[in-house]
């Protein structure tokens, strides 16, 4: 209901309505049961009177109902008591004689005789505020003698009045008592919810790693807490990505922007020749390209969840991707007169993300070109070895020191800070490669010797092949 925003009030309202209905039904049932008990008392009294009069009737042979009514009223102290006597000829099947104690109330005896009944059988009837009975007293020759009695229902008896008054007073009291008990039980039941709310309120951007405890949490809201904790995990991951992107961007963009500013400030200090301005613009262009590369790679790292990327997997030919990547890098390698030699490429079908694999292979080839001297060679192969496929890239470039090898997959890490900056490296390429391979569950191994070269091997389990 929109009128209640509070769950506690809503539960109390539903409890109140339910109890009003239950108590009302119970009160009606209790009153009707008591009323029926009073009616049963009246029936028992009518039967007792009918049985009691049998002996006197046989002895005195009443013909006038008024006489017997007066005797019974005096004997049993019942006022008013109406009587009807019926003499019924069972052979002729008709009434030979009948007498009513009061013609004014003769309508009370518009009831069946039930002449086929046995001696002593009695039947009861409701006639407005009166209760009537009809009993076969005895049979004499061909005559059946019936006595019919009628007396007021004691519906206004002190007992029923007291019961009705008690129910009217007790019901609201019981209802209020139930509401107080329900309020306490609801508060106790909702106390875990309040604890969860308190825990949630304590979580902010400064402590996103905190989670709502599931200790002593009822199973009904445990799933809600688990869902909220999962939401916090996603929120923390997204928040960390934003912070990481902001920190990485400010860290990495600072240097090229400083270079651009310095170049411009130097160029503007004095008049220069057109060729000099051209050289400055060329430097600025290179730094701008570097900035664009950094931004693209940073956005890629923060772009999607791994599960989301895995959902885009499809069947593809890895050998075609490898050759396409080689063709793409050959133009770049030609600027340093570096030749990329393909030793072996076997046909291989995989279920993977084509775009991601192209990025990974291209980055590996680009790194090999960037960190190799002019007029050198790069060797690539795609082969099979036991229960896995191997994608190998070897160069005879500058190499990586043993101390730097453990850190080369960290973002913005450069084994040779000065040379990698000069060559245009951002320190992001290998971190992107590692992320892509992790998404595909591929392993990567790098071995390197300074001044001799580097060998990279990507291991693809055959289970991952299509």
DSSP state of 87: E
pLDDT band at 300 (very low <50, low <70, confident <90, very high): low
Tell me: do 316 and 291 sit in the same domain: no
Given a cut of 60, whether residue 88 has pLDDT beyond it is yes
pLDDT, the chain, mean: 80
Given a cut of 90, whether residue 1 has pLDDT beyond it is no
For residue 356, being part of any structural domain is answered with yes
3-state class (DSSP) for residue 298: helix
Given a cut of 50, whether residue 139 has pLDDT beyond it is yes
**CATH number of the domain where residue 373 is located:** 3.30.565.10
Q: Looking at residue 420, what is its pLDDT?
A: 45
Q: Which residue has the higher pLDDT, 185 or 221?
A: 185
Q: Looking at residue 419, what is its pLDDT?
A: 43
Contacts of 336 by beta carbon, 8 Å cutoff, 6+ apart: 369, 372, 373, 374, 375, 376
Taking the C-alpha atoms of residue 80 and residue 104, their distance in angstroms, rounded to an integer, is: 13
Domain that holds residue 292: 219-301
**CATH number of the domain where residue 288 is located:** 1.10.287
3-state class (DSSP) for residue 145: strand
Say which range, 172-186, 232-246, 336-350, has the weakest mean pLDDT: 232-246
Q: Looking at residue 253, what is its pLDDT?
A: 66
Domain boundary among 250, 281, 301: 301
| CA 438 vs CA 306, 360, 409, 442, 460: distances in Å | 9, 11, 12, 6, 11
For residue 179, being part of any structural domain is answered with no
For residue 188, being part of any structural domain is answered with no
For residue 213, being part of any structural domain is answered with no
Q: Looking at residue 81, what is its pLDDT?
A: 87
Given a cut of 80, whether residue 250 has pLDDT beyond it is no
Phi, psi of 309 (to 5 degrees): -70, -40
For the chain, the domain total comes to 3
Given a cut of 80, whether residue 44 has pLDDT beyond it is yes
Tell me: do 313 and 455 sit in the same domain: yes
Sign of CA dihedral 250, 252, 257, 258: positive
Closest CA to 143 of 85, 83, 96, 84: 96
Say which range, 80-89, 218-227, 298-307, has the weakest mean pLDDT: 298-307
Q: Which residue has the higher pLDDT, 177 or 249?
A: 177
Say which range, 285-299, 341-355, 427-441, has the weakest mean pLDDT: 285-299
Average pLDDT over residues 40-49: 85
Tell me: do 149 and 47 sit in the same domain: yes
Q: Looking at residue 378, what is its pLDDT?
A: 94
Average pLDDT over residues 73-87: 84
What is the tens place of the pLDDT at every residue in 405-435? 887 877 655 555 434 444 445 456 788 888 8
Question: Would you say 196 and 212 are in contact if contact means Cβ atoms under 8 Å apart?
Answer: yes
Q: Which residue has the higher pLDDT, 190 or 454?
A: 454
Average pLDDT over residues 366-379: 90
Q: Looking at residue 389, what is its pLDDT?
A: 94
Q: Looking at residue 464, what is its pLDDT?
A: 59
Tell me: do 262 and 379 sit in the same domain: no
Tell me: do 336 and 295 sit in the same domain: no
Average pLDDT over residues 383-411: 87
Tell me: do 230 and 280 sit in the same domain: yes
What is the tens place of the pLDDT at every residue in 359-369? 889 889 988 99
Please state the length of the chain.
466
Closest CA to 146 of 106, 125, 118: 118
As a three-state string, the secondary structure of 400-423 is: CCCCCHHHCCCCCCCCCHHHHHHC
Q: Looking at residue 258, what is its pLDDT?
A: 74
Q: Looking at residue 390, what is its pLDDT?
A: 94
Q: Looking at residue 418, what is its pLDDT?
A: 37
Tell me: do 315 and 454 sit in the same domain: yes
pLDDT band at 101 (very low <50, low <70, confident <90, very high): confident
Q: Looking at residue 280, what is its pLDDT?
A: 81
């Amino acid at each position: 209901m929109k009128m209640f925003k509070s769950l506690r009030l809503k539960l109390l309202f539903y409890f109140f309505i339910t109890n009003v209905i239950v108590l009302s039904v119970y009160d009606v049932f209790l009153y009707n049961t008591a009323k029926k008990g009073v009616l049963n008392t009246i029936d028992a009294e009518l039967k007792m009177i009918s049985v009691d009069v049998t002996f006197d009737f046989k002895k005195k042979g009443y013909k006038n109902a008024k006489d017997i009514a007066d005797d019974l009223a005096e004997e049993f102290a019942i006022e008013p008591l109406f009587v009807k006597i019926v003499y019924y000829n069972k052979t002729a099947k008709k009434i030979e004689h009948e007498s009513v104690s009061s013609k004014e109330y003769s309508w009370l005896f518009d009831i069946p005789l039930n002449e086929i009944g046995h001696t002593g059988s009695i039947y009861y009837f409701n006639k407005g505020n009166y209760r009537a009975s009809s009993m076969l007293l005895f049979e004499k020759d061909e005559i059946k003698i019936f006595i019919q009695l009628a007396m007021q229902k004691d519906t206004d008896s002190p007992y029923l009045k007291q019961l009705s008054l008690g129910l009217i007073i007790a019901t609201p009291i019981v209802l209020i008592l139930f509401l107080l008990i329900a309020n306490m039980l609801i508060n106790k039941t909702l106390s875990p919810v309040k604890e969860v709310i308190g825990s949630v309120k304590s979580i902010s951007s400064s402590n996103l790693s905190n989670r709502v405890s599931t200790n002593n949490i009822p199973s009904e809201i445990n799933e809600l807490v688990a869902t909220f904790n999962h939401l916090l995990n996603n929120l923390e991951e997204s928040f960390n990505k934003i912070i990481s992107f902001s920190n990485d961007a400010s860290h990495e963009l600072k240097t090229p922007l400083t270079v651009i500013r310095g170049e411009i400030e130097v160029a503007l200090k004095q008049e220069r020749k057109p060729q000099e301005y051209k050289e400055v613009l060329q430097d600025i262009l290179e730094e701008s390209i570097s900035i664009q590369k950094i931004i693209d790679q940073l956005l890629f790292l923060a772009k999607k969840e791994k599960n989301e990327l895995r959902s885009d997997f499809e069947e593809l030919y890895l050998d075609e991707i490898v050759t396409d990547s080689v063709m793409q890098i050959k133009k770049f390698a030609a600027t340093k007169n570096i030749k990329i030699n393909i030793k072996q490429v076997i046909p291989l079908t995989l279920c993977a993300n084509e775009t991601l694999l192209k990025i990974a292979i291209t980055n590996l080839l680009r790194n090999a070109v960037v960190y190799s001297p002019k007029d050198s060679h790069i060797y690539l192969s795609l082969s099979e070895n036991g229960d896995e496929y191997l994608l190998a890239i070897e160069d005879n470039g500058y190499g990586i020191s043993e101390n730097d090898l453990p850190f080369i997959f960290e973002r913005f890490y450069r084994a040779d800070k000065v040379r990698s900056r000069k060559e245009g490296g951002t320190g992001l390429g290998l971190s992107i490669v590692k992320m892509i391979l992790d998404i595909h569950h591929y392993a990567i191994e790098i071995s390197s010797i300074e001044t001799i070269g580097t060998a990279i091997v990507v291991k693809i389990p055959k289970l991952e092949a299509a």
